[in-house]
Amino acid sequence: MTARIVSIGTALPDTRVSQTTLRDLFAAQPGFDRKSQRLVGAAFDAAAIDTRHVVLPQLAGTEVEGLPVRDGDTLLMPPTGARNDEYRRRAPDLFAAAAGRALSGSGYGANEVTHVVTVSCTGMFAPGPDYHLVRDLGLSPTVERYHLGFIGCAAAIPALRLAARIVGDDPAAVVLVACCELCSLHWQTSSHPDQIVAASVFADGAGAAVVASGNSSRDGLDLDGFATHVTDDGEKDMAWTVGDSGFEMTLTPEVPRIIGREISAIADDVLGDLSAVDAWAVHPGGRSILDRVENALGLDAAALAPSREVLRRHGNMSSATLLFILRDLLADAERVEGDRVAALAFGPGLTVEAARLTMRRTGA
């Protein structure tokens, strides 16, 4: 039984901040020499991001109570526990907002959801986001719940794969998938190049999808197949670890190069004939990653426009980002029945996750 994404919902924090504001704030940190300041300017300006949304209004210069992350123009380094407490306060509402929108657009009622799959790598607590969605959306207390944690930017595809497996085993299943990442909670005020690059791209947001049987009369995206590929190297180039002052990102310049070097063979293996692909949903880990994918696969400039637009408007929201791209493709009136969609995302390992989807326009 083919599973179908029948609806996608997204949610963003209220605070929207320009890339230039964040650049200037980060470059002004005490101890940053001229070389570090030039690196900050280069990284932020080259990111192809205009704005990002964050759960910390303090980053935009608004004084509010909450996590102490700023003293004037000086960014502070709260302990991991305080950052995680803020995640626990902020994440449930964003999970619920995105999931509620996906559910309201799906044609299914809250009482019809049979499974919940939540995704996040920027915080943890129990009972977790899966439990809160059952409570906040009024789902049945018998709903089966699964949480995928610490998979990183690629995690939306494994979550959709799990949903597809559930529906394939039980055509009556209705699976709610929800991703929420609050990357801004883990800003590191370090002049190390890895931390500068991470600060230049990551943002906050949530995305959700309702996955049900392909027999649905609603428009959507059929989930036709999935694949995972671990590259030959990159284990030390993209990593996400828990430190004493937040979660620490390792993101070296080798990441785009590894992806560019290996993505062609991987895409041929997991997606087949690339000329048959009508639309692409590629996780915008950064502008350079999109450039490398575009060049390696010989794509025209328009192919990755949906990914670049999400990056420009929202930055890299880790696992939630791919759902924003799929949402835009689903809403695109130029996408017609039978269009073949290829999705790619990249996570620690270095791991490439891929999915094949088909656009369905039922006319209902």
Between 50 and 258, the higher pLDDT residue? 50
Summarised one tens digit per residue, pLDDT across range 13-60 is: 999 999 999 999 999 999 899 999 999 999 999 999 999 999 999 999
Q: Model pTM?
A: 0.96
Is a pLDDT exceeding 90 seen at residue 111?
yes
Q: How high is the pLDDT of residue 179?
A: 98
- 179 in active site: no
> What is the residue-averaged pLDDT of the chain?
94
The active-site residue, picked from 121, 153, 179, 183, is 153
- The residue that leads in pLDDT, 62 or 316, is 316
Least confident range from 13-27, 55-69, 106-120: namely 55-69
- Residue 239: pLDDT band (50, 70, 90) is confident
pLDDT above 70 as % of the chain: 99
pLDDT at 1: 73
Query: For residue 63, what pLDDT is reported?
Result: 81
Query: What pLDDT score does 364 carry?
Result: 53
Q: Does residue 193 surpass a pLDDT of 70?
A: yes
Amino acid identity, position 63: E
Q: Look at residue 314 in the predicted model and tell me its pLDDT.
A: 98
pLDDT tens track for 147-161:
999 999 999 999 999
Domain spanning 220-360: CATH 3.40.47.10 = yes
Reply yes or no on whether the pLDDT at 280 is more than 60. Answer: yes
pLDDT (0 to 100) of residue 252: 82
| pLDDT tens digits, 196-220 | 999 999 999 999 999 999 776 789 9
Domain boundaries defined on the chain: 220-360
pLDDT-wise least confident of 102-111, 173-182, 257-266: 257-266
